[in-house]
Structure 1
Amino acid sequence: MATKREQEILALIKQDPLITQAQLAEKTGTTRSNIGSHISNLIKEGLIVGRGYVFPAENEVTVIGAVNLDVLGAAKAQVSTKGSTPGRVYSFIGGMGRNIATNLADLGVKTKLITVYGNDNNGDLFQSEAQNNELDLSDALRVERPTATYVYLNDVDGRRIAGIDDMQINELLTPQVMEKRLPKINAAKVVVVDSNLPAETLNYIYENVTVPIFAKAVGINKAQNLFSAKTKIDTLVINSVEAKLLTQIEITGEKQAQMVADKLQAWGCKRVCIYADGLGIYYQTPTVAKFVAYHKANLVNTNGVGAAIIAASVYAKLQAKDFGETLKLMQRADVLTAQVNEAVTPKLSEIIEE
């Protein structure tokens, strides 16, 4: 991690990339030999490349979160707990962090994904797909463990009935891993996290990341990871089930959505987007809020909706969209994603083409 002196030197180099070591020594009140040592450290940390003070390529967004194999059982009739139910079984690469990063890439956003995955066939599949989507995996971890897996069952209406996740591998995304990558993380314009990360890792990110942090709650057993006395979230995206678990408020309409958003803002979230199956999407900032009811659509699978919504909100932030434009982008992303079996729709870019 760069010292305060090295951060000072970096700032001077950014102002004048042709500055000499003698000039740096004069401006910082130290010796040329000390400057040489600091420059060497900056090169080792990847903050500058070579002797020409060339800065590494910056990603617009860094996503820190999970990748896994999704296994979906999609029922074609009313599910019976006492026998077999006809349907289809699908498998594809998913995971909240991966889904968000892939969506952002589809929207034309240069994206780094910091995740952990196994040295197995599913890891090979993920790596190949990520490269095809031009995701930067240079700071991801690949380990001798199985890639995470999520198995879930949807009813005939496309709504989730139950799910089981094998995600222990994410425990390897520790604060120490983030510390080694912190300069690159802070070089992004926006950082996105999901609650698959350990609570201590999220707290480290809140304390040390200097750019806006967007967060996606994932699962009723992990959403709590996002919250502590250190929580510092620019925009939170959460579904009504996770919101109820955290706040003990069941969302049946706009009034309850506002109550939930008020609580979440008090807990350290500047902006809150809540999506509720069958009801609609609610977006609240410190100054304005709006609820948009869902229209009936061809609902196939809601699993990837949250990742699409947060990707749309990040895109809106990068493009300096106003409240109304941001909400429209999130709403379109929601509808498009719910119409496909996969967790990522290949048509997400349509939200910025309309």
Structure 2
Amino acid sequence: MNEISKKDQLYELIRANPFISQQDLAVQLRLSRSAVAGYIAGLIRDRRLLGRAYVLPDNRPIVCLGGANLDRKLRSTSTLRMGTSNPARQDESFGGVARNIAENLARLSTPVSLITVIGDDSSGQALLQHAEGVGIDTRATLKLQGVCTGTYTAVLDDHGEMMLALADMALYDALTPEFLSTRQPQRASAALTVADMNLPRETLKLLLEDAARDAIALVIVAVSQPKMSHLPEDLHGLRLLILNQGELETRVGRQLKTEADLLAACRTVQLQGAKDVIVTRGGTGVIYTTAQGIAHLDAPDAHIVDVTGAGDAFAAAVCWSMFHGSDDLLLACRRGLRLSAMTLECEETVCPYLSADILSDIHNFDSVPASPQAFNALYQD
């Protein structure tokens, strides 16, 4: 076999498995390891590979790190009464903030990989099979012996609003900086990194340090007010923080009763190192930072069937917008609100009928429900 065909064959093996070792390549191609290294060096010179982890220039994924668990939703079939038994309907699906974001992205035809942890139970195996079935690369997942996969149980009222949620997610403590070091090839291939706050504080600190050093954009997504304690004080390296108003209040340690309070809180987070902040506010829309301060965007009308996963859909659409080269948070938030509204209107945690066309036809020149300029004018220093 001549040199050109050997190089092409090696290239195709790497396309099939970007994390294949040089030794495995050598065995499959019946070459010496030094010969394989020479071919790889040639592919890098030709710009067919981009170097570390054999990154393919047309296939760099969004790498999502954090929670992936079994979601149980108990929905009351009548007015919910506390302190007594209520008739309800139970649904089970796969959830977790990082996993939900990854599935939304996969259904939007985006290359995406998931770094998470599961137990050695049937729920964990089913979760991985489902993720791989929708197009998520799960090869970097940590599999623990003798533990159960994480669970999230939400109690919804008869209108679909969440009244209470219980999360069994102690296994995410295993996603340590030491573990992430074993997944460096996968992480180095990222076009964008998305992390949720199920990750331990020291792990988020490592991701921030890596983002500042390697210039790979990092988005951190909050998961709950209690887990805001996982967010380091120093946020330098953070491209974007996405959280709701309650989580922002927890971060700054005070209630945010006015729009001026929200502006001050966002500026505080930016002074801590975050480049931008998006604050979701349920049915009243979102607030996002701008060069002048902050701006508000109203939420579209939606017939609420189930609120579970709507915030994760919003975050996924924002990340999709960034992945496709847009640094415009107005456009990203418009896309996020559209995907969030679609999720609110379906029973599934992730809408099964998503496509990239849903977001790509939203442009800055569409009608905007609120004026950022008018909003900023009220709150300039």
TM range (shorter): 0.7 to 0.9
2:311 is aligned to 306
Q: How much has 1:293 moved relative to structure 2?
A: 2.5
User: Aligned equivalents of 1:347 and 1:256: distance in 2?
Assistant: 39
**After superposition, what is the alpha-carbon deviation per residue over 1:4-39, rounded to whole angstroms, capped at 9, x for unaligned?**
xxxxxxxxxxxxx99xxxxxxxxxxxxxxxxxxxxx
**Runs in 1 of length 4+ with deviation above 6 angstroms?**
none
Q: Which residue identity lines up with residue 275 of structure 1 in the other structure?
A: T
318-327 vs 204-213, which moves further: 318-327
Q: Which residue identity lines up with residue 143 of structure 1 in the other structure?
A: L
Tell me: CA distance 1:256–1:74, structure 2 relative to 1, closer, same or farther (3 Å). farther
Tell me: CA distance 1:59–1:86, structure 2 relative to 1, closer, same or farther (3 Å). same
Tell me: CA distance 1:128–1:214, structure 2 relative to 1, closer, same or farther (3 Å). same
Aligned pairs (5 A) from 1:55-70? 55=54, 57=56, 58-70=59-71
User: Aligned equivalents of 2:264 and 2:79: distance in 1?
Assistant: 34
Whether contact under 8 Å (1:253, 1:279) holds in the other structure is no
Whether contact under 8 Å (2:241, 2:278) holds in the other structure is yes
1:91 aligns with 2:92: yes
1:241 aligns with 2:246: yes
1:101 is aligned to 102
User: Aligned equivalents of 1:335 and 1:253: distance in 2?
Assistant: 25
Whether contact under 8 Å (1:216, 1:306) holds in the other structure is no
User: Aligned equivalents of 1:214 and 1:174: distance in 2?
Assistant: 18
1:335 aligns with 2:341: yes
Q: Secondary structure at the match of 1:233?
A: coil
1:320 aligns with 2:320: no
User: Aligned equivalents of 2:312 and 2:349: distance in 1?
Assistant: 8
Number of aligned residues = 314
**After superposition, what is the alpha-carbon deviation per residue over 1:127-180, rounded to whole angstroms, capped at 9, x for unaligned?**
111111111111111121210001111223322211111101111111011112
Q: How much has 1:217 moved relative to structure 2?
A: 0.4
Structure 1: gaps spanning 5 or more residues: 1-16, 19-41
Q: Secondary structure at the match of 1:278?
A: helix
What is the aligned counterpart of 1:352 among 335, 338, 360? 360
**After superposition, what is the alpha-carbon deviation per residue over 1:284-320, rounded to whole angstroms, capped at 9, x for unaligned?**
1344632122344211222312211121111111222
Q: How much has 1:251 moved relative to structure 2?
A: 4.7
User: Aligned equivalents of 1:212 and 1:278: distance in 2?
Assistant: 29
Query: Identity rate of aligned residues, in percent?
Result: 25
Whether contact under 8 Å (1:305, 1:338) holds in the other structure is yes
1:202 is aligned to 204
Q: How much has 1:229 moved relative to structure 2?
A: 2.4
User: Aligned equivalents of 2:198 and 2:236: distance in 1?
Assistant: 15
120-129 vs 298-307, which moves further: 298-307
Q: Which residue identity lines up with residue 133 of structure 1 in the other structure?
A: V
2:51 is aligned to none
1:213 aligns with 2:214: no
1:164 aligns with 2:169: no
1:122 is aligned to 123
Q: How much has 1:249 moved relative to structure 2?
A: 4.2
What is the aligned counterpart of 1:271 among 276, 285, 293? 276
Tell me: CA distance 1:91–1:285, structure 2 relative to 1, closer, same or farther (3 Å). same
Q: How much has 1:220 moved relative to structure 2?
A: 1.4
Q: Which residue identity lines up with residue 342 of structure 1 in the other structure?
A: E
**After superposition, what is the alpha-carbon deviation per residue over 1:195-221, rounded to whole angstroms, capped at 9, x for unaligned?**
000001111111124201001001111
User: Aligned equivalents of 2:315 and 2:67: distance in 1?
Assistant: 15
Q: Secondary structure at the match of 1:229?
A: coil
CA RMSD of aligned residues (A): 2.6
Tell me: CA distance 1:75–1:277, structure 2 relative to 1, closer, same or farther (3 Å). farther
Whether contact under 8 Å (1:254, 1:291) holds in the other structure is no
Structure 2: gaps spanning 5 or more residues: 1-6, 9-20, 26-32, 44-53, 363-381
User: Aligned equivalents of 2:314 and 2:331: distance in 1?
Assistant: 13
